[in-house]
Amino acid sequence: MTDTTAATRRPETLERVVIRFAGDSGDGMQLVGDRFTDVSAAFGNDLATLPNYPAEIRAPAGTIAGVSSFQVHIADFDIVTPGDVPNLLVAMNPAALKANLADLPPGASIIANTDAFETRNLEKAGYQANPLEDDTLAAYTVYPVPMTSMTVEATKGTGAKPRDAERSKNFFALGLISWMYTRPIAGIVTWIDEKYAKNAVVHDANLAALKAGYHFGETAEIFETPFEVAPAALPPGRYRNISGNVALAYGLIAAGQQSKLPILYASYPITPASDILHELSKHKNFGVRTMQAEDEIAAISVAIGGAFAGQLGVTATSGPGVDLKAEALGLAISLELPLILVDVQRGGPSTGLPTKTEQADLLLAMYGRHGEAPLPIVAAYSPSHCFDAAFEGARIALKYRTPVIVLTDGYLANGSEPWLFPDVDQLADISVPFTTELNHLNEDGSTEFWPYVRDETTLARPWAIPGTPGLMHRIGGIEKEDGTGNVNYDPANHELMVHLRAQKIAGIAADIPPVEVDDPTGDAELLVLGWGSTWGAIKAAARRVRANGRSVATANLVHLNPFPTNLGDVVGRYRKVLIPEMNLGQLSKLVRAEFLVDAKSLTKVQGLPFRAAEIEAKILEMIDG
Amino acid sequence: MAEPVALTKKDFTSDQEVRWCPGCGDYSVLTALQLMMPELGVRPENTVFVSGIGCSSRFPYYMNTYGIHSIHGRAPAFATGVAVARPDLDVWVVTGDGDGLSIGGNHLIHALRRNVNFTILLFNNQIYGLTKGQYSPTSEIGKVTKSSPFGSLDYPFNPISVAIGAEATFVARTHDLDRKHMQEVFRRAHEHKGAAFVEIYQNCNVFNDGAFDHITSKDKRADMLVNLRHGEPVRFGAEQEFGVRLNEYGEAVVVNVADVGVDALLVHDEARHDPTVAFALSRLAETPTSPTPMGVLRAVTRPTYEAEVQSQLGAAQANRGPGDLRALLESGGVWDVA
Ligand SMILES: Cc1ncc(C[n+]2csc(CCOP(=O)(O)OP(=O)(O)O)c2C)c(N)n1
Ligand code: SF4
Ligand SMILES: [Mg+2]
């Protein structure tokens, strides 16, 4: 084929674009989104992604409930969110169109797989008439493309039966969008070669569909010009693309290496945390022991047992599992052993929204145990930051001999972004020594081992592991006598121990960085304070507000317990404080109670992250209000 | 280095005052074990006792070893963590009938099927001792307690049947009135590679006194305790006049040896891989009021969980080399920004 068209169609340059792939859960939209993300990352764009899929593995095909989507935001500058609204929607069927239409701003483009817009599918999606044929989509630029039939046509000769061939239509869509945004498809071809090496028919069909989609864009006259999003000017260094769950798993592995301790990771499968188990179980050569326990209680118990025996005990779960682990967490607090509990938050209560994101476990992490049972909390704010959060969690757990809760959420877990990953040589050494010596001198001159003698600065107790001669000791959940650790019910001793445990956790504040405030003009009257994954939307909102000449300050908390020592000053310095959260105001409760400031909440509990525009509007309202 | 001095009971006894009720059967188990530990050739520092919650679960405090007094029902899971992390350690689990079979039933069965290399001592007093006398999952039906003034309605578990059903590789029973028997069973359990389950009939003289008198009192033992010996016909009675044979349905039944002849008796084979006969034996007595099997019902070999975990780690390291963090971070495609 002589390619005259492409030459005449010079790409139009965009700074950024938000594309949403939407189809039935069986249509392979997550796969397409992942591939598009990978080629965009390799191309050098900055990007952020937002997968969104139903909890059911196969909700009824063709229905709204069965729609699965993947949004990717690519840009030639450093971006922080997966984009508020899509510029382009790829709708593989009527339900995908219907479910996503409300999110499209007027003027957005829609590529619709016309083959799927037939009577039955229209009915299942609740359309009386074909929206491609009436004026439902008048506000949009619609590109009708018969993807299914063209895929079937293109895959003839690959040996794929027509029904199977249809399943390659997601690759057709991928090919087409790759052309539209001038993505090189070589990386996708290599991926197909590797992924389907063992299944020639599927391999050939997917490859043929990919190429057909790409060529269709090139030759069909329906698209004016392709677009180009230039590589982003990111800080120099070596990058890779990473999702939150993988980053978290890598952070744990790094913590194992940097503490010189084997990891004992036990967990029970639960969305959206299971991928951490999947990832870690691949890396046994790092000495990582992974165990799929019989339930979440067993999982945390195994991890605590491992910690007692001298390993880095870790467990991860989501809300329902955190509920189950509460009692064992209390024990770990009482035993004063290092432990990491990762909570990949999802919508609650109860089973709630298993595949959707929420931040409503902060107070659970903070207070969800009986008795006075404080523990440190670290929250990740972006997919790649999950690495740092896991590492920091491990550092605190080991140094202070305490369970630490690391909070991430479904959006961070499954979302991905380019990551300027750390130089291994620069990672801190977080190892702590095991105690091998007797530590208490009796009046008669004899020496003993006391398991609850504390380090003067950290208040941590010694970590003496089985196998160490002479240091045999028994510890349990019953209140212990200060020092000896012997069972003790004395009122004054209990009061002392409760205070000591609280002081130990509070004292960690001296060992964490102050919260950083971003207030470029220095004259902002409003501070937007966030934690966790709202970071991106807050940052993007602040950029917009500032681009319009207004002032706003932002700050993000990584440490939620204890708070950084300067937080009181920071929130007290601003006339107004806004705290956006994907819950009904949990951090704002803590901040108000702790610092007596009139912090305002902006809440959203839809299973979806904030849009920058939602926060921007609230900021403007508060500045002007 | 000097030859290690032979250890004694003292080396395994902690300085903590024992706080069970006077006369409690737990004392005799503790003494039996403390006396026996030196004979096992183990060292206190390499030994870990893990328990749940209950009177019996106070046990670790009294052993001069490493120990965790954990939370109610979860001891097998904590002990699994210890064993997986450190296969070099000698791990014991102490639990009760409520701890191990009610709140912790799930962990018990999974530890058994995984065949974690530890010894589980289940103190069965058929009552909740620590919470002052409610019926337990092993209490006989109709038991009148504080929580069941009109008699309990719950059909009881037979712990031995549960363990066999849960794929345990070692299952045995003993009782608190026979130190020698306890020690012999504990020794066998300790030697076993894998999860060894031992049910101990233990008298709670405060809330369920005499629960096992029908079979364990000195005058009843001969006729009521069916002592199992590997490779020998199953016989009991003062004159060995009774025996056990399998009927046409495969059920274990008590017979008069004089009626059926020795050759008709079941020859005990604890190493039989199929658990059917061991299970049948476990059903011989529905409650401890009729002839009850004692000793090792089942002892078969299967790889231990932690050995398998270790071998996967070893294989991964042999195939891929020790973990290289830099290579891991760079896996899956990287690009450089100048
Ligand atoms: C989560 C929880 N629920 C309830 C209890 C109260 N509790 C303590 S021990 C026990 C029963 C113990 O019975 P068993 O295991 O038979 O031990 P025994 O005291 O008879 O040796 C109960 C219900 C507890 N400690 N923790
Ligand atoms: S209540 Fe029963 S089991 Fe508990 S210590 Fe007293 S006698 Fe022993
Ligand atoms: Mg009991």
Q: pLDDT (tens digit, 9 = 90+) per residue, B168-198? A: 999 999 999 999 999 999 999 999 999 999 9
Mean pLDDT estimate for chain A: 95
Q: Give CA–CA dist A388/A382, Å, rounded.
A: 10
Using alpha carbons, list the distances in angstroms from residue A40 to A272, A421, A616, B328.
25, 18, 28, 21
Residue A176 is predicted with a pLDDT of 96
How do residues A575-609 score in pLDDT, each as one tens digit? 999 999 999 999 999 999 999 999 999 999 999 99
Beta bridge partners of B49: B67, B92
Cβ within 8 Å, pair A466-B48: yes
Burial of A510 (0-12, 13-18, 19+ CB in 10 A): exposed
Is A326 near chain B, with CB under 8 Å? no
Q: What b-and-e string marks burial along B112-145, b requiring 16 or more CB atoms within 10 Å of the CB?
A: bbbbbbbbbbbbbbbbbbbeebbbbbbbbeebeb
A203: amino acid identity, one letter: H
Any atom of ligand 1 within 6 Å of the Cβ of B176:
no
Residue B1 is predicted with a pLDDT of 47
Top residue of B66, B311, B313 to mutate, by most chain A CBs within 10 Å, is: B66
Domain ranges of chain B: 7-211, 216-298
CB atoms within 10 A of CB A198: 7
Any atom of ligand 1 within 6 Å of the Cβ of B193:
no
Chain B environment of A293 (Cβ under 8 Å): 77, 110
Question: Domains (ranges, CATH) in chain A?
Answer: 12-229 (3.40.920.10), 240-426 (3.40.50.970), 517-624 (3.40.50.920)
Atom of ligand 1 at shortest range from CA of B96: 15
Chain A environment of B106 (Cβ under 8 Å): 294-295, 298
Q: Return the beta strands (E) in chain B as ranges.
A: 47-51, 66-69, 90-96, 119-124, 170-175, 196-201, 225-227, 235-236, 242-246, 252-256, 292-299, 334-337
Residue A377, helix vs strand vs coil: strand
Least confident range of A41-55, B155-169, B278-292: A41-55
How do residues B247-291 score in pLDDT, each as one tens digit? 999 999 999 999 999 999 999 999 999 999 999 999 999 899 999
How far is C-alpha B150 from the geometric centre of its chain's CA atoms? 32
Minimal Cβ distance to A474: which of B61, B77, B84:
B61
Residue A7 is predicted with a pLDDT of 43
Q: Which CATH fold topology does B7-211 show?
A: Rossmann fold (3.40.50)
* CA atoms A130, A135, A139, A141: torsion sign: positive
Atom of ligand 2 at shortest range from CA of B20: 5
Average confidence (pLDDT) over A169-194 = 94
Residue A306 is predicted with a pLDDT of 98
Is pLDDT of A238 > 80? yes
Edge-to-edge, what's the strand order for the sheet holding B242-246? B235-236, B242-246, B252-256
A552: amino acid identity, one letter: V
Beta bridge partners of A475: B68
Is pLDDT of A2 > 60? no
Residue A225 is predicted with a pLDDT of 81
B278 CA distance to ligand 3 middle (Å) = 25
Least confident range of A21-25, A40-44, A550-554, B41-45: A40-44
State the nearest Cα–Cα gap between A7 and chain B, in angstroms: 28
What share of chain A in percent tops pLDDT 70?
Answer: 99
The DSSP output letter for A83 is -
Which of B26, B30, B176 is the pocket-test mutation for ligand 2 (most atoms within 8 Å of CB)?
A: B26
A121: amino acid identity, one letter: N
B250 CA distance to ligand 3 middle (Å) = 32
Cβ within 8 Å, pair B337-A424: no
State the nearest Cα–Cα gap between B115 and chain A, in angstroms: 14
Residue A163 is predicted with a pLDDT of 86
Q: Is the pTM of this model over 0.90?
A: yes
Atom of ligand 2 at shortest range from CA of B23: 7
Residue B4 is predicted with a pLDDT of 61
Cβ within 8 Å, pair B45-A469: yes
Residue B262: both structure tokens together: 């020795």
Least confident range of A8-17, A184-193, A273-282, B329-338: A8-17
Residue A191, helix vs strand vs coil: helix
A250 CA distance to ligand 3 middle (Å) = 45
Minimal Cβ distance to A305: which of B81, B315, B332:
B81
Residue A370's pLDDT band, with cuts at 50, 70 and 90, is very high
Minimal Cβ distance to A301: which of B77, B313, B336:
B77
Residue A591 is predicted with a pLDDT of 98
Top residue of A267, A285, A480 to mutate, by most chain B CBs within 10 Å, is: A285
How do residues B3-35 score in pLDDT, each as one tens digit? 567 899 999 999 999 999 999 999 999 999 999
State the nearest Cα–Cα gap between A44 and chain B, in angstroms: 8
Q: Which of B81, B109, B79 is nearest to B94 (CA)?
A: B79
Residue A10 is predicted with a pLDDT of 75
Any atom of ligand 1 within 6 Å of the Cβ of B280:
no
Chain B, window 253-272: residues with a beta carbon less than 8 angstroms from a chain A beta carbon: none
Residue B2 is predicted with a pLDDT of 53
Is B317 near chain A, with CB under 8 Å? yes
What share of chain A in percent tops pLDDT 90?
Answer: 91
A82 CA distance to ligand 1 middle (Å) = 51
State the DSSP H helix or E strand holding residue B199, giving kind and residue range, or none if neither: strand B196-201
Q: Give CA–CA dist B145/B136, Å, rounded.
A: 10
Any atom of ligand 1 within 6 Å of the Cβ of B207:
no
Top residue of A267, A311, A419, A474 to mutate, by most chain B CBs within 10 Å, is: A474
Minimal Cβ distance to B45: which of A41, A44, A466:
A466
Q: Give CA–CA dist A387/A561, Å, rounded.
A: 19
Cβ within 8 Å, pair A477-B319: no
How far is C-alpha A153 from the geometric centre of its chain's CA atoms? 40
Is A157 near chain B, with CB under 8 Å? no
Place of tokens 């195994």: A302
First vs last C-alpha separation in chain B: 60
Chain B environment of A421 (Cβ under 8 Å): 329-330
Q: Give CA–CA dist A144/A304, Å, rounded.
A: 57
Minimal Cβ distance to B14: which of A41, A469, A474:
A474
Which of B55, B61, B131 is the pocket-test mutation for ligand 2 (most atoms within 8 Å of CB)?
A: B55
A323 CA distance to ligand 1 middle (Å) = 21
State the DSSP H helix or E strand holding residue A559, giving kind and residue range, or none if neither: strand A559-561
Angle (deg, nearest 10), helices B75-85 and A296-308: 50
**Of A434 and A222, the one with more pLDDT:** A434
Beta bridge partners of B123: B96, B200
State the DSSP H helix or E strand holding residue A239, giving kind and residue range, or none if neither: strand A237-243
State the nearest Cα–Cα gap between A280 and chain B, in angstroms: 12
Residue A3's pLDDT band, with cuts at 50, 70 and 90, is very low
> Ligand 2 — pocket residues by CB below 6 A?
B 20-21, 24, 26, 55, 125, 129, 204-207
Residue A531: both structure tokens together: 């934690």
How do residues A297-317 score in pLDDT, each as one tens digit? 999 999 999 999 999 999 999
B96 CA distance to ligand 2 middle (Å) = 11
B176 CA distance to ligand 3 middle (Å) = 14
Mean pLDDT estimate for chain B: 97
Q: Give CA–CA dist A36/A258, Å, rounded.
A: 34
